[in-house]
Amino acid sequence: MEGMHPLDGRRIAVLAADGFEKVELAVPVAALRAAGADVDVVSLREGHIRGVNLHEPAGRVKVDRLLADVSPDDYDALLIPGGFINPDLLRQSAMARDFVRHFDAERKPIATLCHGPWLLASAGLTPGRRMTSWPGVRDDVVNAGAIWLDESVVHDGNWLTSRGPQDMVPFVRALLPFFAGQSPVSEPPASDAAASAPQRDSPPALVLGVMKWLPRPSLRTLALAAAAALLFSARKRRADGRRRGRAVAASMPAGPIRHG
């Protein structure tokens, strides 16, 4: 039926790293693929990256393409999920910063939510932009020059931003026509357009409640964490040993040693 697949032929990059908020990747990607889009999960490493539900480990997703192997020219639009860890890793990557800069320079659609705007801020793209984010990083985007609005979805030119999982329904509803090029360019509000919304007086009650009732880590989780720490420590000791060996070898005189 006509109009059932508005994203047919559109290639979407989902830029994500370990620690992405699972619902913020899984739900939009499912909606994009159902609308006909060809979606690639692009990441900093190969294999499968681990999602989280708040701070609890969640399921993994397969990485389709390495960031080092793709070009922004390969894609029509970009989605950046949030989470506490994922955008913090991405913002430290020069390749990720350059990737989003290229998208913005070409005025291609960029959609992000929750903590995802951290990457846009670190790429130096936020001054003068109207946007939203997870309320806890409101000050970060304001200090980076953006106009922060406490709204479920904010459309500013080629950007679509949302606050987080609590706004998933309106975000996905706006995302499909936005990536299809069907959304009109939004205009700033007539009154006080350059003023950011004030800081929140308290964190979201829903999150506080969820954190309160989350179970304690299982013995299996603790054992896996301990094993990972031991593995990291062992690898570091081996690397330190190799460096010391190279330093000793470099300090030794070249050629045979002759005795009088």
The catalytic site residues sit at 115
Q: Are strands 65-66 and 130-131 parallel, antiparallel or unpaired?
A: unpaired
> How far apart (Å, rounded) are the C-alpha atoms in residues 193 and 184?
18
> How far apart (Å, rounded) are the C-alpha atoms in residues 170 and 36?
20
> How far apart (Å, rounded) are the C-alpha atoms in residues 111 and 35?
16
Do the Cβ atoms of 81 and 114 come closer than 8 Å?
yes
Sheet with strand 38-43: strands edge to edge? 65-66, 38-43, 11-15, 77-80, 110-113, 159-162, 153-156
Q: Write out the H or E segment, with its range, that includes residue 249.
A: helix 219-251
Q: Are strands 153-156 and 159-162 parallel, antiparallel or unpaired?
A: antiparallel
Rg (CA), the chain: 23
Angle at 110 between CA 104 and CA 111, to 5 degrees: 155
CA dihedral 90, 92, 97, 99 (to 10 degrees): -50
